[in-house]
Structures are given as C-alpha cells and as structure tokens.
Chains A and B, each alone.
Chain A
Amino acid sequence: MSFCRLAGLCCLTLLLTGCSGNWGWYVVDPTVPAGWINLKFLLSGLYYTLLLSFTAIVISIVIGLAVALPALSANRALRRFNRIYVELVRAVPILVLILWVYYGLPQMTGLSITVFWAGVIALALSDSAFEAEIFRAGIQSIDKGQYEAAHSISLSYTDMMMYVILPQAVRRILPALGNQLVYMLKMSSLVSVIGMQELTRKANELVVVEYRPLEIYTVLVLEYLVLILIVSAGVRWLERKLQSDQRG
C-alpha cells in the first residue's frame, strides 16, 4: 500500500522532470561521480536525523509517562502539576524552544551544551506534553476492573502499573505513539537552524554550493517520505504483532 503511494510520487517527479527543461538532475545523479558524492553527502544527514529523533522520542516518552501518572492521582496538587506542565510546554513553538535551549540555557546555567543535546532536549520537552496526554488517555481507557483485580492479588502500585496497566495501555496507544515518532522525525529538521548536521542541514549546505534548490530539496522531500513510510510500516507491524499476541 505505502509502496504504491511511493511509486506514485516517483512517477509524478519524473513527469515533472519531463515537463520542464529547468531540471538539472546531474547534481544528484549517482552515475556521475560528482552527483554520487553529492547524494552521499545528502544521505549522510540520515544518521543524525535518526539518532536525534529516536533519542528524543525515548526521553519524551519517559517524561510523558512521569507527567501522565500524577494526572491520574487522587491528589489535587499532583493533577494541577500535570495540567500546568502540559499547558505551558504545549504553548511554546518547537523552533523557539530549540533556540532558547541552545542559546539561552547555557547563559542561564553556565553549562555549555552541544548542538545535539540542545536539539534532543528541546524536541523531547516539546513532545513530552503530547506524550503525557496520550499516556493519560491510554491509562484512563483501561477498565477499572483491571485495577481491582490487581489490588485483589495485592500487587504494589509499581507492579500493577508495570505488569497490568501499562502493557495494556501501550498496546492501545501504539498508533498514537507511532504518530508522535513520525512527527518527531519531521520536527527534527528544525534543529538544522542551530547547525545540527542532519538531513535538512545537509540539503541547505548543498544548495548553497550547487545552486540547484529544486533537485536537492526534491531529494530531501523523498528522503523524509521514504523514512517515514518505513517507520509507519514498522509501527503497524508492531501493532499487529502485539494484537495477535493477545489472541495467541
């Protein structure tokens, strides 16, 4: 299914190429030595795009969970903490958060921070508010009877969450978590503004040298597209696997 869509897009690209005399595919033509070097240069950004996104998503899931649990507590102050965190973090644009963490945080704390970790922190923080909402909804969707059964075999709170509630909640929110991962992969392009050598930054740098924005950005679009189609397929595979687990 996704491959059909991909093939369709490639056809469209070729069609556009045919329609216009202005395309200069030589800049990224793998059969030409210079084009091959350019293409490798563009693809080399993949490493940091992936590392950045996956590190950030893991951290944001941990923070998200830690922020979601207080929302489910009977304690009013804890619930309020959750609301304030979610509202505040959600209100800051990601780009602004990236700039603030990279340029502002070191001045405030006196600690220096690498581009990579500034990017990870900003992406993770900004995403954590959404993860928190997803986890809250997922955990709340679990039947009360599951808690009661866990209590009745005297599981501790931690064991109950670890072995009974979260495994079920995670299965339910997996599609939403997959969406967040896709979102994260896309948003990681913003970290290029502070000089992170990921896909978008590489493309920008090549455009400055080669003056062929149309071809280079088209390659960039295709890079994200393929990456995200693969990740989505992976998430769907995981979903199916976990579902069939429950049926045996």
Chain B
Amino acid sequence: MVKTSFCAMLNLSAKAMIKVENVSKTFGDFHALKNVSLEVLTGEKVVVCGPSGSGKSTLIRCINGLERHDEGLIEVADNRLTHTSSSLRAVRSSVGMVFQQFNLFPHLTVKQNLTLGPVRTRKLSQPDADKLAMAYLERVRIPEQADKFPRQLSGGQQQRVAIARSLCMEPQIMLFDEPTSALDPEMINEVLDVMSELAGSGMTMICVTHEMGFAKRVADTMVFMDHGEIVEKAPPEQFFSNPGTERCRDFLSKILAH
C-alpha cells in the first residue's frame, strides 16, 4: 500500500485539512494542553498515543469544538473554529467523532441512530436517509442489525454502528477517541478492521489509540503526547524503531511489553 504521507511529500501543495496552532486549554488551574501545534493533511492518518491524562482526548475534542480552547487557532477544512454556533456547525459538519463509550442513542433503533443526523441536519428525506444508512451498515458489515436497539448488540457491533452513524454525515475527517478501549478483546479486531478499511478509502483520520499493531499498519504519522504537550511526532517506522525522547521510549516499552 502506498502511504498517503508519501504522496503528500511528493505533492508539496497537499492541503492541510486540520490546523492546530499554539492551542492551550486549562481546566481551572490545570493545563490540559500547552501550546499544542499539529497539522493534518488531506487523507493523512494520525495516531495519537500517550499516558493517561496527557491531553489526547482534550486535543481531539477541541478539534470538533466539544471542548473550547482558551488560546491559539484551530482551523478545520478551512473553517476557523470560533465557538459561534455557525462556526461550530460548519466545523462539526465536516468532522465525525467516535467515542470510547460508543454513545449510541439507546431509545432509537440502529437505523434511526444513523438517520437522525442526515434527516435533521442534512435535510435528507427519510427514504434517502434510510438508503444511506443501509449502505453504511453494509460497509461496517452489520446490515442485519438495522432494526435492533443498541442494547441488543455486542460492544463491537455497537462501536461499528457508532462509526456508521458518523459516516452517514459524510464527514471529511474522522476522529476516534480510544474506540476499542471499552471492548472485550475478541471484539477489538472487528472494529479495527472497519477503521483500517476506512483509512484505505482515503479518509483523513486522527485516532487516539494504544493499538500499536493498528498504528503500524495504518498511521502516516505517530504523535506522542505527555503532560499536555506533543513530545514527539514522526512517521511510524522512525517512531517505533528510534523514538527521539526518553519519555516516549519509556511509554512504548511499557505498552509494547504486553
């Protein structure tokens, strides 16, 4: 597989899909993000890792405006994120997000979970939205679950529904916040497979995950965060074979040990 970053290197004019510049975020006295900068090109897959509390979630939650950054600039698909409702809508319409806890709507069927956004925000007719939903359920390989309620599905199936729900909004960017951390081990791969396939289709992605096998296969860029800072950013080959900092080396030896 030709890595997208390789294409990006050849094509010097490759567009930045996400621009994060000198972003800081505090919770009270606590600095969750300190002057973080990150640029993600169109089609690039970035995998973010780092110890608990290092600010990984905060970073990607800032990118779609779930958290409000205090300082710095965030630009997503040419929309500056300013936390006015129109800016939020513009940014969120191009960004899909998948959560650790799935966050499916428990009172709606799988299909209704998928069509709510398209019908209410993208103003699709219900039949069109239904067709779209079925297409994406095929893609995550659970079309037969369309009329069940989330509670009736396994964790892995629920997470695939959550991915399909985001895709139904036809975003340009997908953010994943530890999508497999809440899953039983035997279900992790079915979710990672769907994500790998999505990566292959050219989607721009930022994944927070500790699945290093997946990272090696899919990532164009690895990012290591610690104490609210991006400590290291490198292509996976270099990142895994020759981490530049002590902290990163420590972290990798811990999570690769088991």
Residues of chain A touching chain B, judged by Cβ–Cβ distance below 8 Å, are: 143, 145-146, 148-149, 151-156, 159, 163-164, 167-168, 171, 245-248
Alpha-carbon gap, A247 to B109, bound state (A): 9
Alpha-carbon gap, A156 to B106, bound state (A): 19
Give 6 CB contacts A-B under 8 Å: A151-B65, A151-B66, A152-B166, A153-B92, A155-B117, A156-B120
The 8 Å CB contact of A153, one of B147, B149, B166, is: B166
Interface-facing stretch out of B27-35, B97-105, B136-144, B200-208: B97-105
B120 touches A159 (CB 8 A): yes
A145 touches B107 (CB 8 A): no
A248 touches B107 (CB 8 A): no
The 8 Å CB contact of B93, one of A145, A149, A154, A163, is: A154
A149 touches B103 (CB 8 A): yes
Residues A153 and B66 in contact in the complex (CB < 8 Å), given A148-B99, A168-B106, A168-B107: no
A149 touches B105 (CB 8 A): yes
**Across the two chains, which residue of chain B brings its CB closest to A248?**
B149
Alpha-carbon gap, A44 to B171, bound state (A): 62
B117 touches A153 (CB 8 A): yes
Residues of B within 8 A of A143 (CB): 103
Residues of A within 8 A of B147 (CB): 248
A151 touches B92 (CB 8 A): yes
Residues of chain B touching chain A, judged by Cβ–Cβ distance below 8 Å, are: 64-66, 88-89, 92-93, 95-97, 99, 101, 103-107, 109, 116-117, 120-121, 147-149, 151-152, 162, 165-166, 168-169
The 8 Å CB contact of B121, one of A153, A167, A247, is: A153
Residues A155 and B121 in contact in the complex (CB < 8 Å), given A145-B101, A148-B66, A246-B149: yes
A152 touches B120 (CB 8 A): no
B120 touches A245 (CB 8 A): no
Residues A152 and B152 in contact in the complex (CB < 8 Å), given A159-B120, A163-B120: no
Residues A153 and B169 in contact in the complex (CB < 8 Å), given A148-B66, A163-B120: yes
The residue in A154, A245, A248 that gathers the most chain B C-beta atoms within 10 A of its C-beta is A154
Residues of A within 8 A of B117 (CB): 153-155
A-B contacts besides A152-B64, A159-B121, A248-B148, 14 pairs, CB < 8 Å = A148-B97, A149-B104, A149-B105, A151-B88, A151-B92, A152-B66, A154-B169, A155-B117, A155-B120, A156-B120, A156-B121, A168-B105, A246-B106, A246-B107
B120 touches A247 (CB 8 A): no
Residues of A within 8 A of B101 (CB): 145
The residue in A152, A159, A168 that gathers the most chain B C-beta atoms within 10 A of its C-beta is A152
Residues of B within 8 A of A146 (CB): 103, 105
CB of B157 to closest CB in A, whole Å: 14
Residues of B within 8 A of A246 (CB): 106-107, 149, 151
CB of A73 to closest CB in B, whole Å: 14
Residues of A within 8 A of B95 (CB): 152
The 8 Å CB contact of B116, one of A151, A163, A171, A245, is: A163
The 8 Å CB contact of A167, one of B107, B120, B152, B165, is: B107
The 8 Å CB contact of A171, one of B97, B103, B107, B166, is: B107
**Across the two chains, which residue of chain B brings its CB closest to A165?**
B105
CB of A117 to closest CB in B, whole Å: 36
Alpha-carbon gap, A153 to B151, bound state (A): 21
CB of B79 to closest CB in A, whole Å: 12
CB of B50 to closest CB in A, whole Å: 21
CB of B187 to closest CB in A, whole Å: 19
Residues of A within 8 A of B165 (CB): 149, 153
Residues of B within 8 A of A153 (CB): 92, 96, 116-117, 121, 165-166, 168-169
CB of A166 to closest CB in B, whole Å: 10
The residue in A148, A149, A164, A167 that gathers the most chain B C-beta atoms within 10 A of its C-beta is A149
A247 touches B151 (CB 8 A): yes
